[in-house]
Structure 1
Amino acid sequence: MRLTPQNIIKALGKKGSGRIPPSNLYITNDSRKVKENSLFVAMNGKKTNGKKFIKQAIQKGASAIISNEKLNLGKKIWVLNHKDPQTAYGKIANTARKEWGGNVIGITGSIGKSTIKDLTAAALGTNEDVAASPYSFNNEIGLPYSILNAKGTEKYMVLEMGAKNPGDINYLKKIAEPNCAIYSFICNSHAEYLGGIQGVIKEKGSLVSGWKEDKSLVISSKNNHHREISKLSSGAKIIKWGPGEQIDSEEIKLDKYGIPSFKIKYKNKTYKVNLSLPGSFQVGNSLAALSAAINFNVDLNNAITRIEKVKPLPHRKEIHEIRNDGILLDDCYNAGAKSTKESIRWASSISVKRPKVMILGDILETGNNEIKMHKEIGKIIKDNQYSQLLTVGNLAKHALKESGIDGSHYQKIDDLLNDLKKYDFSAKVILVKGSRSIRLEKITKKIREIFST
């Protein structure tokens, strides 16, 4: 989405110095994506400093720069000085959202946000109709990026909204100005930073706090935390899915990989759904997405046809066949207590007679009960009759000890990488799950290299 220089001036409240470009500008904070007539926002990141790439951005066609330092780039480059380029980026994204003026659907919750985001985008229309956050771009940089990288001709934007610290959701809300919210399952993810589960509910609930009847909220009728969220919205239209609501599922069946097919009932009609996403919990995710489609009067048959084509994101319940009839389940993108338990049960349901192996990394940011929670995970692994457990990190060892099954613990991921060849994964189902920072994708990559078919 391109903006006029006048819109950018309006967003930032300053004209800057140098030559104001005569044409609309493409806005980016990534120097690699700069093209002709771009505005490059030079941010300071954790790993790099955007100011180092200003020269490169200009060489690639940037005609405007935002920086927190006063720059002398000559009269041909438009320079906008701002004490916080990241805040400027958000203000520009908000201006773009207002100029565009379509429907924004905000997706928040604790687990399953990205999947619900993809399902909702598909339910609402094609790529021509819908812009959506790429991957899991859901923070103070990723959300503005998602808005500014839309074409600007779509009818809908589906934006994932994450929170790690108090106030994050409210900041994203001010940028995106959503008129519909969808909640994924809420648990104690990031509870360590948000003040326990009540802090999580308060933070996530701030998305709909004070909403009136011109906005809509999609929640599960059977989720206690969702009911608490709905009370924070004083007057929004509430769309519930689940038992006894306008849309619910029945006759759920799982194929050999745990991929569900089911029927839904809506207004005395029955519809068949055959998903491409593994896990019985995807039924609920689909109902949330289809509820959004109903809210915006999208044809339900067309919405179902599109969600059936949605595939897993990288490292999110990806299924790979490996040598000697083994099955690798790559679910290592991230982990919380709830999602890990779901994954353990999902893997257990696949090829029931095959031995199950789990490679478990630490599950982080879960609050003060992290050791107890890892022990609970160990018990669930045992109850689901896994034959072997390999653990990585500082906390996962408690799951191994509690499970009492055959296994080994590795303090560092490189130690397990060096040992992988000694394990026999023939005719077994191998589940890989852990928090993002453990970097278990290194393990799944190595397994596929060693045991390629």
Structure 2
Amino acid sequence: MILTVKEILDATEGKLLSGDINICVSGISTDSRTIKSGDLFIPLKGERFNGEEFIDDALNVASASLTESINYIRHDNKPIIFVKDTKDALHRIAKYYRSKFDIPFIAVTGSSGKTTTKDMIYDVLSMKYNVLKTIGNFNNEIGLPLTLFKLNDDHEMAVVEMGMSGFGEIRRLKNIASPNVAVYTNIGVAHIEKLGSRENILKAKSELIEDFKDGDTIVINADDDMLIKLLDKKGPKFVTYGINNGNIKAFDIELKEESSKYKVLIDGCVLDVELNVPGKHNIYNSLAAICIGIQFDVNKDDIRKALSEFQPSAMRLNIIDAFGIKIINDVYNANPSSMKAALSVLGGYAGKRKIAVLGNMLELGQYADVAHREVGEHVKENDIDVLITVGDYALKIADGAVEKGMDKNNVFRCGNNAEAIDVIKNIMKESDVFLVKGSRGMKMEEIVKFLQESAYK
């Protein structure tokens, strides 16, 4: 990327405190530790940090900096731009830079499955186009702008992920990225602590399409009882997918331990789809990718090939063989929908002892008790042999499993990861299958690491 100081001033409505307006920057950084020559440093503020404290250090390398201090003085005449709010300035610069590219922008949102769906869409589109995508889950008000700054003239389209925890957040992301295609995965109860109901979650997610009009496209999971309400919107084109409903429907589904396959009808032709990832939820994710592939005229065989070669991101249902045991590493995050999906995958392992190590699901507010209890019921329904819970909220998972009929002698309640590891040490046997899953704040990768290092030999 190349932006002049003048362009930055115009985009941010800032004031030049020093330096030449014709100087160019070739990158944007919010981290003084990784700053590079040519970068513009944007010092953000948070509850526990203040980027303004690192402007001098950053400018030892960077070419220019923003600041919220009108009296900031620098004696080497590097460009310093005063702005009222550095995060708002980041958004304004990203919005301006995005406007330079007249290419399709696809935004993916939903309560779960966003990252996997985004990655599958990227793989499908990459069979024909040069595509920019959100790295990992850089899906918030900092990550999305930083993704957009990676756009260059070679990119023919972009697929970005949009997350939120409250009203207004998706709107701000939408205003920055200006997508013309929206993909919705589902509406669950993730972040219900702030929003209070699934209806409000749908309302917040709907901010993405509030400006959509003729020529724009909305892709939705037609099996989701909340998302189908979006079909009332007039103007944009709707494409629906699902297993029970939708324009693009999966049928003849075969769910295996570590893979799945199904058929789908496209333009009168049956397409056989094979996935090297397990779970019914991944069929939904791949159907969304198929919809986008069709929308952008990707060859059907290329769609099939891309999906057959898809590999999930780290800590997202990664299946690891470790010295006689198997580990389903799904520790990146957790909400009720993704917990149940992962348990269904674990339940698909026949003839082996199935052990679920489940931690707290956070940000559920008043729904926390019932949501954890329902996950516990799902443990029993999937014939899980051993349950190990980690954390105070997860105690309700144990309660739900026992109340559903699970043998209480096979249920272990732990306060932290260390206690869970102690339990695992005592019960682990050759050929066990472990599912490890919990919210990001639980850091349950510690348990995965133990299993990998100390598995039965």
**Closer, same or farther: CA 452–370 of 1 in aligned 2, 3 Å:** same
Matched, 1:336 2:335: yes
CA contact (8 A) 2:223 2:246 kept: no
Corresponding residue SS for 1:123? helix
Alpha-carbon offset, residue 330 of structure 1: 0.7
Is 1:365 aligned with 2:369?
Answer: no
The equivalent residue for 2:239 is: 239
2:317 is equivalent to residue 317 of structure 1? yes
Tell me how many residue pairs correspond in the alignment.
448
TM-superposed CA distance for 1:110, in Å, is 0.3
Specify whether residues 28 and 307 from structure 1 end up closer, same or farther in structure 2 by C-alpha distance, changes over 3 A only. Answer: farther
Residues 360 and 391, structure 2, Cα contact 8 Å, conserved in 1: yes
Partner of 2:450: 446
Contact 1:102 1:156 in 2 (8 A): yes
- Structure 1 residue 366 displacement after superposition: 2.2
Could you list the per-position Cα deviations for residues 153-205 of structure 1 after superposition, in whole angstroms to 9, with x for gaps in the alignment? 21111111011111111111111111000001111110110121111010001
Q: Does 1:409 align with 2:409?
A: no
Q: How does 1:39-438 map to 2 (within 5 A)?
A: 39-60=40-61, 62-69=62-69, 70-125=71-126, 129-231=130-232, 233-242=233-242, 243=244, 245-257=246-258, 259-323=259-323, 325-350=324-349, 352-404=350-402, 405=407, 406-438=410-442
Are the counterparts in 1 of residues 132 and 158 from structure 2 also a CA contact under 8 Å? yes
Does structure 1 conserve the Cα–Cα contact (< 8 Å) formed by 2:29 and 2:41?
yes
Aligned-residue offset at 1:295: 1.6
- State whether residues 332 and 439 of structure 2, in contact with CA within 8 Å, keep that contact through their aligned partners in structure 1: yes
Kept in 1, the 8 Å contact 2:2–2:27? The answer is yes
Structure 1's 123 and 32: CA in aligned 2 closer, same or farther, altered over 3 A?
A: farther
Q: Following TM superposition, by how much is the alpha carbon of 1:262 offset from its aligned partner in structure 2, in angstroms?
A: 2.0
Q: CA deviation at 1:106?
A: 0.8
> What SS does structure 2 have at the residue aligned with 1:358?
strand
CA contact (8 A) 2:248 2:266 kept: yes
Tell me: CA distance 1:368–1:66, structure 2 relative to 1, closer, same or farther (3 Å). same
Quick one: distance in 2 between partners of 1:403 and 1:442? Answer: 24
Larger displacement relative to structure 2 (276-285 or 354-363): 276-285
Most deviating of 42-51 and 152-161: 42-51
SS at match of 1:264: strand
- Give the distance between the partners of 1:448 and 1:132, measured in 2 at CA: 31
Give the C-alpha shift of residue 269 in structure 1: 1.1
Which residue of structure 1 aligns with residue 32 of structure 2?
31
The letter for the 1-side match of 2:51 is G
Cα separation, partners in 2 of 1:412 and 1:255, compared to 1, 3 Å: closer
Can you list the C-alpha shifts for 1:361-411, whole angstroms capped at 9, x where unaligned?
A: 011222423212222221221222222111111111122133223122112
Whole-angstrom distance in 2 between the partners of 1:152 and 1:189: 37
Q: How far apart, in 1, do the equivalents of 2:127 and 2:82 lie?
A: 39
Report the residue type matching 1:42 in the other structure: P
Q: In structure 2, what is the Cα distance between the partners aligned to 1:229 and 1:73?
A: 53
Deviates more, 1:166-175 or 1:372-381: 372-381
TM-score in terms of structure 2 length: 0.93
Could you tell me whether the CA contact under 8 Å between 1:188 and 1:367 is conserved in 2?
no
- Report percent identity of matched pairs: 29
Cα drift, residue 419 of structure 1: 4.8
1:266 Cα offset (Å): 0.3
Letter in 1 for 2:388: L
CA contact (8 A) 1:2 1:148 kept: no
**Secondary structure at the counterpart of residue 360 of structure 1:** strand
- CA distance in structure 1 between the aligned counterparts of 2:429 and 2:32, rounded to whole angstroms: 43
Shift of 1:416: 2.7
Q: How far has the Cα of 1:452 moved from its partner?
A: 7.2
Return 5+ residue gaps in structure 1 as ranges.
Answer: none
Judging changes above 3 Å, is the alpha-carbon distance between structure 1 residues 386 and 285 closer, same or farther for their aligned structure 2 residues?
Answer: same
Alpha-carbon distance between aligned partners in 2 of 1:33 and 1:76, rounded to the nearest angstrom: 22
Instruction: Please tell me whether the aligned partners of residues 130 and 156 of structure 1 are also in contact (alpha carbons under 8 angstroms).
Output: yes
Partners of 1:268 and 1:381 in 2: CA distance: 40
Q: Distance in 2 between matches of 1:295 and 1:81?
A: 44
Measure the CA separation in 2 of the matches of 1:260 and 1:25. Answer: 44
CA offsets 1:225-246 (integer angstroms, 9 cap, x no match): 1111333x33111111235644
Pair 275,4 (structure 1): closer, same or farther in 2 beyond 3 Å: farther
Tell me if the contact between 2:221 and 2:246 (Cα under 8 Å) persists in the aligned partners: no
> Which residue type is aligned with residue 268 of structure 2?
N
Deviation at 1:45, TM superposition (A): 3.0
CA–CA distance in structure 2, aligned partners of residues 354 and 222 of structure 1: 32
The amino acid that maps onto 2:368 is E
* 8 Å contact kept, 1:43–1:67: no
d(CA) in 2 for partners of 1:354 and 1:116? 30
- 433-442 or 409-418, larger mean C-alpha shift: 409-418
1:127 positional shift = 10
Q: TM-score, normalised by structure 1?
A: 0.94
8 Å CA contact 1:360–1:390 kept in 2: the answer is yes
Structure 2 letter corresponding to 1:357: I
> The residue matched to 1:290 in structure 2 has which SS?
helix
Shift of 1:50: 1.8
CA contact (8 A) 2:192 2:363 kept: yes
